[in-house]
């Protein structure tokens, strides 16, 4: 799951970013509305964590405008504006949850996780291609009934491939599944993971390269 954090306080932004990464999310973080708008245009997110008072304006105004454009990504507001009227306004004008500063990091992570579950269409419990099975609930991958030991990134890449079984998936899409915005699709990070996956998935090979299109499973 991929999260965008918009917070102008560099120390708090770094803390939220680090905590969400530790919890297993892919995280991008920016300090104002301009970079946030660019990130939202380029990438798909499962949840956005928004400060209210930013250098470029009120995050609430921005979210309200986006909602008017049928933007549906779940939003958690983190803000010092915590009186009841402000909380009601935040929820009424487009926020899905509202957490007042200062807050407990563990609670913030739990709320983000809850919003991600709420915003996603439930995937099939088991994704398959041939004799390869990925259990989305148990976070387990088996081939021919044998449990495979995959890293978190390898699991994310296999899952994205299986979600599009039989169709090519671009390098950029696979990178977005397993890494944050700082990962360059042109770098070799994906090649290293795919090489490891091809070895772990054993024979006959399941992952094929589709020239100029990406990679396909099944």
CA dist., res. 1 & res. 205, Å (int): 27
Task: Read off the pLDDT of each residue in 68-74 and give the average, rounded to a whole number.
Answer: 88
171 token code pair: 């390098």
Looking at per-residue pLDDT, the higher value among 181 and 213 belongs to 213
User: Quick one: 27 and 106 in the same domain?
Assistant: yes
User: Quick one: 179 and 108 in the same domain?
Assistant: no
CA dist., res. 213 & res. 167, Å (int): 10
Structural domain tally of the chain?
A: 2
Range of the domain at 198: 126-217
User: Quick one: 17 and 100 in the same domain?
Assistant: yes
Q: What are phi and psi of 147, to 5 degrees?
A: -70, 130
Grade residue 138 by pLDDT with cuts at 50, 70 and 90.
confident
Exposure string over 73-107, b if 16+ CB within 10 A, otherwise e: bbbbbbbebeeeebbebbeeebbbbbbeeeeeeee
pTM of the model: 0.57
CA dist., res. 150 & res. 78, Å (int): 34
Domain boundary among 88, 119, 150: 119
Residue 37 has pLDDT above 60, yes or no: yes
Of how many residues is the chain composed?
218
Lowest average pLDDT, out of 45-49, 100-104, 117-121, 182-186, goes to 182-186
User: Quick one: 87 and 136 in the same domain?
Assistant: no
User: Quick one: 115 and 130 in the same domain?
Assistant: no
CA dist., res. 158 & res. 66, Å (int): 32
User: Quick one: 185 and 113 in the same domain?
Assistant: no
User: Quick one: 25 and 131 in the same domain?
Assistant: no
The predicted pLDDT at position 70 comes to: 82
User: Quick one: 16 and 88 in the same domain?
Assistant: yes
Residue 108 has pLDDT above 80, yes or no: yes
User: Quick one: 142 and 192 in the same domain?
Assistant: yes
User: Quick one: 64 and 22 in the same domain?
Assistant: yes
Domain boundary among 62, 85, 119: 119
Domain boundary among 102, 119, 136: 119
């Amino acid at each position: 799951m991929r999260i965008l954090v918009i917070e102008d306080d560099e120390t708090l932004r770094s803390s939220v970013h680090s905590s969400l990464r530790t919890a297993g999310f892919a995280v991008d973080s920016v300090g104002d509305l301009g970079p946030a708008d660019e990130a939202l245009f380029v990438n798909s997110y499962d949840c956005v964590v928004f400060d209210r008072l930013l250098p470029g304006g009120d995050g609430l105004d921005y979210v309200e405008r986006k909602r008017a454009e049928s933007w549906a990504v779940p939003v958690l507001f983190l803000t010092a504006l915590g009186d009841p009227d402000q909380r009601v306004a935040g929820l009424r004008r487009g926020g899905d949850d509202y957490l007042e500063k200062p807050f407990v990091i563990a609670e913030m992570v739990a709320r983000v996780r809850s919003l991600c579950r709420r915003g996603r269409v439930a995937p099939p419990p088991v994704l398959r291609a041939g004799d390869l099975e990925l259990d989305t609930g148990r976070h387990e991958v088996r081939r021919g009934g044998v449990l495979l030991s995959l890293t978190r990134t390898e699991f994310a890449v296999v899952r994205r491939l299986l979600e599009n079984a039989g169709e090519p998936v671009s390098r950029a899409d696979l990178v977005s599944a397993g890494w944050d915005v700082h990962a360059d699709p042109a770098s070799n990070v994906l090649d290293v993971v795919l090489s490891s996956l091809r070895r772990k998935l054993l024979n006959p090979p399941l992952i094929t390269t589709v020239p100029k299109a990406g990679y396909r499973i099944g």
